[in-house]
């Protein structure tokens, strides 16, 4: 079964450093998402991306964050200058986006990247 792949599984960085989290969505999917989960808290939506542009973003997704689809397969989340409070599990997801209501609804998630900011 096709799956969303995220790398690395664990990223350790120093405060103030830039990090790039990588995701390979399911190949025929059109919509891509990033979520994060701070330890012990809810999974929170960050951003959605379609047709090479951001289609929706949350208040969390400020100027420190950016997303990019640099080629036909990868989808990246960049945090420009990491803060301690950016430590979390980051999940990538993708949606087919075509077809009926159900196909558009179902988001498929990767296993996540645990980001630790020291």
Return residues touching other proteins (CB under 8 A): 4, 6, 31, 33, 35, 41-45, 48, 55-56, 58, 91, 93, 95, 101-102, 104-112
Give least dist CB 59 to other proteins, A.
11
The residue (of 13 and 89) whose beta carbon lies closer to other proteins is: 89
Give least dist CB 1 to other proteins, A.
10
The residue (of 64 and 108) whose beta carbon lies closer to other proteins is: 108
Give least dist CB 62 to other proteins, A.
16
Could you give the angle at the alpha carbon of 76 between the alpha carbons of 85 and 92, nearest 5°?
Answer: 70
Give least dist CB 23 to other proteins, A.
11
The residue (of 82 and 94) whose beta carbon lies closer to other proteins is: 94
Residue 97: partners with Cβ closer than 8 Å, 6 or more residues away: 29, 30, 31, 50, 103, 104
Neighbours of 81 (CB within 10 A): 12
With CA atoms as reference, report the closest residue to 48 among 69, 28, 64: 69
Alpha carbons 88 and 41: distance in angstroms, whole number: 10
The residue (of 77 and 112) whose beta carbon lies closer to other proteins is: 112
């Amino acid at each position: 079964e096709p799956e969303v792949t995220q790398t690395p599984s664990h990223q350790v960085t120093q405060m103030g450093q830039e990090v790039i989290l990588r995701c390979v969505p399911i190949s025929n999917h059109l919509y891509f998402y990033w979520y994060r989960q701070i330890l012990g808290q809810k999974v929170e939506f960050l951003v959605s991306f379609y047709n090479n542009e951001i289609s929706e973003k949350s208040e969390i997704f400020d100027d420190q964050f950016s997303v990019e689809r640099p080629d036909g397969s990868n989808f990246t989340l960049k945090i420009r200058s990491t803060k301690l409070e950016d430590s979390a599990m980051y999940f990538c997801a993708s949606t087919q986006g075509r077809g009926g209501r159900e196909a558009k609804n179902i988001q498929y998630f990767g296993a996540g990247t645990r980001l630790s900011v020291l």
